[in-house]
A and B are shown apart, each in its own frame.
Chain A
Amino acid sequence: MDDILVEFLAECEEGVTRLDQELVALEQDPGNLERVAEIFRVMHTIKGTSGFLGLARLERITHAAETVMGAVRDGSLQVTPEIVTLLFKALDRTKLVLEGLAADQREPEGDDGDLIEELERVVRGDGGAASAGAEAKAETPPADGEEAAAEAGAGDEAGATAEADAGDEAGAAAGEAGEETGAAAGEDPGPAEKAAADADGKPVPNPEGAAAASSAGGKKGTPPAKAGSAAKPTASTLRVSVALLESLMSCVSELVLTRNQLVRLAREIGKVELDSAVQRLDNITTALREGVMKARMQPISNAWSGLPRLVRELSAALGKQVELQMEGGSTELDRQLLEYVRDPLTHMVRNAVDHGIETPAERVAAGKPERALLRLSAGQEGGTVVIRISDDGRGLNIEKIGRKAVALGLCTPEELAAMSPQQIAGLIFAPGFSTADQVTNVSGRGVGMDVVRSNVEQIGGSVKVDTKAGQGTTFTVSIPLTLAIVPALIVTAAGHRLALPQLGILEIVRCGDRDERKITTVDGCPILRLRDQFLPVLSMREILGLDRNGEGEDHTGYVLVLEAGDQPYGVLVDGVLDSEEIVVEPIASVLKDLTVFAGATILGDGQVAMVLDLKGLDRRLEARNSKQTATRASEEQAGDEPAKTSLLRFQAGNETLRAVPLALISRIECIEPGRAEHCSGRTVIRFDEELVPLVDIDGNTFGLEADGRLALIFADAGRRFGLLIDKIIDVVETEIRISLRGGPETVLGAAVIGERSTELIDIGCLVESVFGGWFGAGSDAAGDASAPPRRVLLIDDSSFFRALLIPLLENQGCIVRAVDSPKQAIALCEEGKNFDLIVSDIEMPEMDGYAFIAWCRQSRWRDTPVIALTSRTSPADIRKGEELGFDRYLPKLDQGALFRAVEELVGRSETRSLS
């Protein structure tokens, strides 16, 4: 059917209904000129519209009836019951024609000559109609109580017609339109202006429905038998009051609960007959719920219909040029929720025009088109409706926001420094925030973004801001489709059952010590490593304050990975029981301070469970984060009370968890195959032109299988060595509390770190294993006080080696004089100093070891034994060195060989035997 015809039929249906009421009322109050004018107008409208559509019969009938009303209006005709009856007759004929029109899309055949003749005769003042009228009077139904109905109708006038405003869009989709109008009708007819504003732009093929709904009682009495058939053209749309919808909704809620209960019972009883009935009930309940919910939906454009005008006015007032684009206005949302987003949307649009968008001059200067683009889009994404408001303006001034936040005391400068631009932008949602330097008459109206956020969050939604300097800002508002009944996951924590709306749950991960996924503690916070992400984890027991285990937390259970805002996070629960459609009941007022709960619900077994609030949990997380930042900051300030130490935990050799302080590790090397060398009784790796000795966890330093393993490189007192390990487990920050001493020498003790016992490795002991053997080989000989000290001159350009060798030689009972070049040694010689032994490096700048030995053998020191220490240890090098006069030619890192050489050359036993 032509959509214009559909619309016309709907319009006429209302008009006819109206006339029914008005005519009855007129009869009671014949002198009411307003009513007369109204009847005239309605008839006139039908006539005029019929003319446009070429509906000749209708036009003639209504024209004749209108003429009668015109005469009444002009005072030339008195309203009598006869005339009313005649008008009713005309009305009935009109209905008849409309009925045929609806059925066949054309006017039914028929002759209205008699009717028109009668009507015209009345206007002419012929008494002919009088008898017919008198007769008809008896038929006129009693009008008790209909006065009120008619008044209600009149009161609706403004609202009703305004609603009809955008009837253009109603199209032929009468069914759909019916659902939309259902809610509109509920705007109480009283405040007609409000109704008009709300209904602006709404497709309503049935503009007087409000009246119809509010006076249904009065209507019933009047239309005779034909009322039913006359309703046909619009039978597919019907207005119902919001109150009715709400009561239906609460019935459905109860039904859902009862259904849940039955489903549970049926499961327990396990009777097949019962099961199938419950199954049907289940399906029907779901269908009913969906239907009722859909009936409550309204297009989102209802909430933003006023925005084009707002933007136009604002941009004109501010001298800006703004083009407003709106998309997805037909996206539907629960009408209750729609009310909540109206103001936030208006505010954000106002903000965008006022703050976000630059003046044309600024835009041109920035290389942008003068005319700014403000886009408003809405769409359904999963179970949420997402509304985006984006402008191509200057973007948020992150720096300014940060300064302001600090000035307002919303965060400390330290906290600010740690924030990402995204997080700083998010501060605009903090209470009392407004970036405008002066409060303009446009944006500064006492509502800030904090109100926007609280409004949106009140309905379980979220708002995010995304901004790029110079490119614009996008606000994203996500709103759940409906609040009343939500699918939820029933979980347990510390023996309590809790419901968590499924909407925000990304995934569920089983966690336990034996599972692949484990919760570890970093920085004092439980963290779950999931694929390549680290998720902060909140323990539900902890949130509930029901962690009976105290600190030794049990990290076994399920982690619900949730998304709220930008960052996913986990909530650890003990178990996941079921998925159930729950009816969220508002939380009792005494509990409203508990932000982690969104409400309560009755579960299938009749017990009450609290409904968790994703936003509340998210805020709990934020609070934890900021608290931690604060704690860390204060710890750093306090400095000397490092209550916690970061430990690197690893495994080496076996499954035992071992740990070393992270601060001692200078780096971690992965040893490629072939990189480790074995020489002079130790396993080493070359590292920065230096041979770094390796040690394993048991203190072995030679014959180590290093290929492919990891080495923790320690720098201790200028010496470096590597500890071979198998696997790095994690880094934990914890107080070191040694609970068990003893065990192998390299173990400082054992401590319980996050549930697992961990061996703390004694680095000092390892140093001794590495270097101590070096020093220790001749330590038996040391300390013989009776032996005269041997004077040793050490020449090495490397301060590292000088530092290494001095204590080593001193340990051997030597007095060491160390110089960093042969030149200085020569100077000492010239000064007349004498030494028992000279230990010299080979590779040195200016003068190397070879040149020195050549000089030495020509000098006063020609008989002093000289040991060369070098990394050049090929046989050719050794031969060359010995030819030049070195007494010993030794690899630099072979402390055992050095000690033997010292003993051989200037040993006490030898000395003794000589003496």
Chain B
Amino acid sequence: MKSCLVVDDSPTVRKIMRRIMQTIGFEVSEAGDGREALAFCERQKPELIMLDWNMPVMDGLTFLRALRQMPGGDEPVVILCSTVSELSNIEIALEAGASEYIMKPFDADLVRLKLEQTGLL
């Protein structure tokens, strides 16, 4: 089973995301902010990271940049999830190393579509 790390500061969102990701067939781990996510990735690299942008302690973008600097940090597919849809934001995300960008809220079908685009499915 493919592994997925859901990074979001909202437990509710994590819970929803967990359900979505499990429906698609992922083994889900969770992190509440960028720092936790980074600590997780230091131990093991998930194949997919569903990353929230706006989080306390360490935001998604900072995490993403740090992840990509780590040895083997370029391997996980990272989908940045945000409610912001401005093109400039999308560009910032992709430059920081996001594999895909997804608008919140989303559903399982949308995620699956994105994953197919990244080649993970």
Interface, chain A (partner B; CB < 8 A): 4, 7-8, 11, 38, 40-41, 44-45, 47-49, 51-54, 157-158, 161-162, 164-168, 170, 205, 207, 309, 312-313
Contact = CB atoms under 8 A, between A and B. Distances in A.
Contacts of B52: 48
Contacts of A205: 11
A168 B13 CA distance: 10
Contacts of B11: 7, 11, 164-165, 167-168, 170, 205, 207
17 contacts: A4-B15, A7-B12, A11-B10, A41-B56, A47-B83, A49-B16, A52-B16, A158-B57, A161-B33, A164-B32, A165-B30, A167-B11, A168-B15, A168-B18, A168-B30, A170-B11, A312-B44
A7 B11 CA distance: 8
B10 A48 contact: yes
Contact of A312 (B43, B54, B104): B43
A788 to B, nearest CB: 111
B105 interface: yes
B57 to A, nearest CB: 6
A207 B10 CA distance: 10
A157 B56 contact: yes
Contacts of B27: none
Contacts of B30: 165-166, 168
A505 to B, nearest CB: 46
A317 to B, nearest CB: 12
A161 B43 contact: no
Contacts of A47: 83
Contacts of B56: 38, 41, 157-158, 161
B74 interface: no
Given A8-B12, A47-B83, A162 B32 contact: yes
Given A44-B83, A48-B104, A161 B32 contact: yes
B36 interface: yes
Given A4-B16, A11-B11, A52-B16, A44 B43 contact: no
Given A45-B13, A165-B31, 19 more contacts: A4-B16, A8-B12, A38-B56, A45-B9, A45-B10, A48-B105, A49-B12, A49-B13, A51-B83, A52-B12, A52-B105, A53-B12, A158-B56, A161-B57, A165-B36, A168-B18, A168-B30, A170-B11, A312-B43
Closest 5 CB pairs of A and B: A167-B11, A51-B105, A52-B105, A8-B12, A161-B32
B16 A48 contact: no
A460 to B, nearest CB: 36
Contacts of A51: 83, 104-105
A165 B11 CA distance: 7
A7 B16 CA distance: 11
B94 interface: no
Interface of B: 9-16, 18, 30-33, 36, 43-44, 52, 54-57, 83, 104-105
Contact of A157 (B13, B14, B57, B83): B57
B7 to A, nearest CB: 11
Given A7-B12, A8-B12, A161-B32, A52 B43 contact: no
B43 to A, nearest CB: 7
Nearest to A45: B10
B86 to A, nearest CB: 11
Contacts of A166: 30
Contacts of A313: 43
Contacts of A38: 56
B28 to A, nearest CB: 9
B12 A11 contact: yes
Interface of A (DSSP majority class): helix
Contacts of A54: 105
A49 B10 contact: yes
B32 A41 contact: no
B82 to A, nearest CB: 8
A44 B15 CA distance: 17
Contacts of B54: 40-41, 44-45, 48
Q: Name, among B11, B30, B57, the residue most crowded by chain A CB atoms within 10 Å (CB to CB).
A: B11
A473 B21 CA distance: 39
Contact of B32 (A4, A40, A48, A165): A165
A52 B83 CA distance: 11
Nearest to B103: A51
A167 B43 contact: no
A737 B33 CA distance: 83
A54 B9 CA distance: 19
B32 A52 contact: no
Nearest to B57: A158
A123 to B, nearest CB: 15
Nearest to A154: B56
A906 B66 CA distance: 124
A41 B56 CA distance: 8
Nearest to A204: B11
B111 to A, nearest CB: 12
Contacts of A7: 11-12, 15
B9 to A, nearest CB: 6
Contacts of B31: 165
A649 B54 CA distance: 88
A352 B72 CA distance: 31
Nearest to A4: B15
Among A161, A164, A309, residue most surrounded by chain B Cβ atoms (within 10 Å): A161
| Most chain A beta-carbon neighbours within 10 Å: one of B10, B43, B54 | B10
Nearest to A63: B83
A107 to B, nearest CB: 15
A235 B13 CA distance: 22
A40 to B, nearest CB: 8
Contacts of B105: 48, 51-52, 54
Contacts of A162: 32, 36
Given A38-B56, A168-B18, A168-B30, A48 B43 contact: no
B13 to A, nearest CB: 5
A162 B33 CA distance: 8
Contacts of B57: 157-158, 161
A49 B13 CA distance: 6
A568 B31 CA distance: 49
A51 B105 CA distance: 5
A166 B105 CA distance: 21
Contacts of A165: 11, 30-32, 36
Nearest to B18: A168
Nearest to B30: A165
Nearest to B33: A161
Contacts of B32: 161-162, 164-165
A415 B31 CA distance: 55
A11 B9 CA distance: 10
B14 A167 contact: yes
A605 to B, nearest CB: 53
A38 B13 CA distance: 18
Contacts of A49: 10, 12-13, 16
A49 B11 CA distance: 9
Counting chain A CB atoms within 10 Å of each CB, the highest count among B31, B33, B52 belongs to B33
Contacts of A170: 11
A4 B104 contact: no
A165 B30 CA distance: 7
Contacts of A168: 11, 14-15, 18, 30
A22 B56 CA distance: 14
A201 to B, nearest CB: 10
A4 B16 CA distance: 8
B1 to A, nearest CB: 15
A161 B9 CA distance: 7
Contacts of A164: 9, 11, 32
Nearest to B40: A309
Given A41-B54, A162-B32, A167 B15 contact: yes
Nearest to A312: B43
Nearest to B104: A48
A52 B14 contact: no
Nearest to A161: B32
A48 B10 CA distance: 9
A170 B44 CA distance: 26
